Amino acid sequence: MYRIKLNEFEGPLDLLLFFIQRDELDIHNIPISKITNEFCEYVNYIQVLDLELASEFILMAATLIQIKAKMMLYKPDEITEEEEDPRYELVKRLLEYKRFKDASQEFANLEEEHRKVFYRSDFDADYRIDEEAEEDVTIQNLTLYNLIKAYKYAMEHQPKEVVHNITRMNVSIDEQIELVNTLCTQNEYVSFLSMIIGMEKIRIVVTFIAILEMAKNGIIGLKINESLTDFVVFKIAEMPEEGIIETSSFN
């Protein structure tokens, strides 16, 4: 005989439900004869162990035997409106018991999950973000995700700072005047484009200013090409010994 531990079942309905689930039976169409025989075997076993505990099981066994007797006389084909399946009340009780048992198990699972959660307390000690606000605004609902999201938003909305790397260069007009004068002395005509090849922007600007100063003082002449894309510099007079302008520099 298959034996069970009694403390695993909370009553006769629990035991009946165990039989139905174990054998995968249809709870709405219980094979009452099979269930009754098996249930009575367990009742006999229970009486040996604990007569007081067996009393409610004995009552259920009697109910099952009564239903079994009615089922022997019960003919579904000849049923009338006044008659009903003898198993109806038992099925109704089993379904109700199963519903409460499932709900109890679900609550037990929720309780087990709840034990794994630790809730922060002492919200009154939280730092107040806005003491003058009408609502009580605290950091009690603040999470790491909220902090990361706020940080990301702040970083994305920072004003863009444009940074230029500037190299300090000492370029004087006198130096460039000397350069232009030397080139014009060595060559009859000097193209401005050829003169500035390899120069930095600041040196090109200072060289152009030096050419304008020399042209202004009648030392060199300028001639623009037909396409207006370049001009040539040629020497007219010698450089005065005292210089053209005061020494200055761009840095």
What pLDDT does residue 39 have? 80
pTM above threshold 0.75: no
Residue 209, class by beta-carbon neighbours within 10 Å (0-12 exposed, 13-18 middle, 19+ buried)? middle
Q: Say yes or no to pLDDT of 31 above 70.
A: yes
Banded model confidence at residue 213, pLDDT cuts 50, 70, 90: very high
Question: What is the model's pLDDT at position 240?
Answer: 76
Q: What is the pLDDT of residue 206?
A: 92
Which of the pair, 218 or 21, is modelled with greater confidence? 218
Per-residue pLDDT averaged across 40-55, rounded?
69
d(CA 175, CA 199): 14
Residue 250 has pLDDT above 60, yes or no: no
Band of pLDDT at residue 247, cut at 50, 70 and 90: very low
CATH architecture of 171-250: Orthogonal Bundle (1.10)
Q: 62-112: per-residue pLDDT in tens? A: 888 888 787 777 665 555 544 577 778 888 888 888 888 888 888 888 888
- Average pLDDT over every residue of 210-239: 87
**Does residue 243 register a pLDDT over 80?**
no
Bridge partners of residue 249, in order along the sequence: 172
Average pLDDT across the chain, whole number: 77
Other CB atoms closer than 10 Å to residue 190's CB: what's the count?
21
d(CA 219, CA 237): 5
Tell me the per-residue pLDDT of 119-175, one tens digit each, with 9 for 90 and over: 766 666 655 555 555 555 555 566 777 778 888 888 888 887 777 777 777 888 999
Where is pLDDT greater, at 43 or 108? 108
User: Where are the domains positioned within the chain?
Assistant: 6-114, 171-250
Q: What is the pLDDT of residue 140?
A: 57
CA distance 216 to 238: 14
Which SS3 state, helix, strand or coil, does residue 220 take? strand
Alpha helices, H only, the chain: 12-22, 32-49, 51-73, 88-114, 144-156, 173-186, 192-195, 201-216
